[in-house]
Amino acid sequence: MFFLFLTNLRSIRRIFKDPSVSSLHTRLLSDKEKKPNWNTNSTLVLTNPILSLLEKCNNMKQLKQIQAQMILTGLFLDEFAASRLIAFCAISDSGSLDYCRKILTHFENPNIFSWNVAIRGFSESEDPKQAIFMYKRLLGSGTRPDNYTYPLLLKACGRLSAFWMGNEILGHVLCLGLDSEIFVHNAIINMLSVCGGLECARQLFDKGCVRDLVSWNSMINGYIRNGRFDDALKLFREMGVEKVKPDEVTMIGVVSCCAQLEDLSLGREFHKYIEENGLTFTVPLSNALMDMYVKCRKLELARLLFDKMHKRSIVSWTTMIAGYSKLGFMDAARKLFVEMPERDVVPWSALIAGYVQCKRAKDALALFHEMQSECMKPNEVTMISLLSACAQLGALDIGLWLHQYIDKHSIPLNVAIGTALVDMYAKCGNIQRSIRVFRDMPKRNLLTWTAMIGGFAIHGHGEVAINHFEEMIGIGLKPDEITFIEVLSACCHSGLVEEGRRFFAQMSSKFDLWPKLKHYSCMVDLLGRAGLLDEAEELIKTMPMKPDSVVWGALFFACRIHGNVVMGERAASHLLELDPNDSGIYVLLANLYVEAEMWGEAGKVRMMMRQRGIEKTPGCSLIEVNGVVYEFIVRDKSHPKNKEIYACLIQLDRQLDLVGYISSDLQVNLT
């Protein structure tokens, strides 16, 4: 036996004497309601002035005043009356779990309802482990757990991903013979699927003597949670064979599968099924359909559904904002954001992430300042996007401020934020801080190692990058395609040709990864920089896919470095076929001719640009001063201190003339 049971039958009979109180227990503790209402219409409450007053309580100060009255009148000694205090503290939005614990500690014989509602409050809190501790106190008090206790505990184990703890709780369930209770049965399936025991969950589902719609939904969502979308859809089809009618929860699951698989045809089929079978278009179901259309790049269908919604949640608005952002329609996303009747941190984060994704980092940082002015506290997702924005701009001062903000507000340095910091510091030029964050991280994943390797690569520390790559493999992490891009870039920046060849070959031979365009462009760049132009061109010819502008561009730059005009012309010809309006190609080809003293050919390129109406794209540069990022474009005079800036540039130009420096990019005037 795991424990001894001491049954307090009198208190159980008392709490369930009134049918309305029994239904209250079910309503408060059922997993069907994510945010249960703690209030009740129990006749015992409505006929008691103090308990009736408690139902209208809005904050802890009022609750303590009511509690004082209960103590003075002796009502506090009543188990049911005390349970109402505990219910407010445990699951009301204005409650306090710490005070709930104190009441339980000082109350002599809390009934099972009180224990269960307290366990629920802790299981849904930021620290679900406290629900397990509360359960241990329940056992020590001599109160017998019931079929409402264990679903709450199993849910807490699922949130903690504590499989061993869930197994212990399961042992208690079996000892009590509660495994045949449908609530408990479904909770076990859910816990197993969350904690990595998906096959065990399926066996329990198949062999269970009880099985309802919630059982099917739990198993389908278990497959979805583990990324097994095809299995989830297969199980949904089995539901049809078993003549089990799906509900809104089922359809949310299968529609989300279509979203992940980007299967528009099946998604539209499910949409039609929902309409034909009269299922209610709840807000979560409508959100799932919108998300499916967004992921399938059918934004017009998502917007049509959005416009038809009678009631929209913040998730509804955020889904549309994220959809517009994903496809690059940032003005539409911003307009929708402004139209929102109320906003929490989620839509703010979605819009900031959209700006970063669209390479509009300055807009992302400006939106963050707007977010601060509205006293909206950022979350982890916001901070990751902002750090990425700093990495794009090279805004080190702002990145440092964000790091201090993370420390000041005790935002945990988890893997995601730590990786973003490593990447930001490396791209902003402070490799030492990047290394420090990397070493201080309590846990690292593949992305963290990849970010660090990429940081060493852009700073020219090729051998250090290779050492970290091999150390990463040594601890059991398998590199992916992005990791190989970074390690090949490290070889390229440091001229490590043999090492680059070795890693390129190992992709397929050792790690079952087939090189893609970016890997080939890295190798062409590596070989070209080393002067191995013939080998680089031969590699392009043997590629299993058609080379893109990045590949030909790498060869072209190498030809310019080494003065190979003939091969450079071939590379430029391919580049112009791919994009005949790219002014940069003409400029670089002209400079190649100038460096080879082929003035006539350089003139022909200039003439070709004029005939085709192609103008040189103005140069742009960014600089950060005192945390503010300034952007400058050629011949731009919009800055308030433009006279001082141009005076400084003229002085620098004169100093360059004195030392005899001439930029090759300025040798031919193409505009």
Q: Would you kindly state where each structural domain of the chain is located, as residue ranges?
A: 1-146
User: Half-sphere exposure of 636 toward its Cβ, with a 13 Å CA cutoff?
Assistant: 14
What distance in Å separates the CA atoms of residue 214 and residue 256, rounded to the nearest whole number? 17
Cα–Cα separations (whole angstroms), residue 261 to 255, 257, 306, 316, 620: 10, 6, 22, 21, 40
Cα–Cα separations (whole angstroms), residue 68 to 62, 63, 117, 511, 552: 10, 9, 22, 69, 80
What distance in Å separates the CA atoms of residue 61 and residue 544, rounded to the nearest whole number? 72
pLDDT of residue 108: 78
pLDDT of residue 352: 96
pLDDT of residue 23: 38
Residue whose structure tokens are 């103090």: 50
Do the Cβ atoms of 499 and 464 come closer than 8 Å? no
SS3 495: coil
Residue whose structure tokens are 């005939």: 611
Phi, psi of 65 (to 5 degrees): -65, -40
User: Half-sphere exposure of 534 toward its Cβ, with a 13 Å CA cutoff?
Assistant: 0
Neighbours of 154 (CB within 10 A): 28
pLDDT of residue 580: 84
DSSP symbol at 641: T
pLDDT of residue 531: 93
What distance in Å separates the CA atoms of residue 82 and residue 96, rounded to the nearest whole number? 15
Do the Cβ atoms of 156 and 128 come closer than 8 Å? yes
Q: In which element (H, E) is residue 620 found?
A: strand 620-625
Cα–Cα separations (whole angstroms), residue 97 to 25, 158, 466, 664: 19, 20, 50, 70
pLDDT of residue 265: 95
What distance in Å separates the CA atoms of residue 427 and residue 449, rounded to the nearest whole number? 15
344-348: Cβ within 8 A, 24+ apart: 344/314, 344/376, 345/376, 345/377, 345/378, 345/379, 345/382, 346/314, 346/315, 346/318, 347/314, 347/317, 347/318, 347/321, 348/376, 348/378, 348/382
pLDDT of residue 272: 95
pLDDT of residue 70: 87
What distance in Å separates the CA atoms of residue 190 and residue 186, rounded to the nearest whole number? 6
Do the Cβ atoms of 346 and 318 come closer than 8 Å? yes
pLDDT of residue 120: 93
pLDDT of residue 207: 82
Low-confidence ranges of the chain (pLDDT < 70): 1-44, 46, 615-620, 622, 624-629, 634-636, 661-671
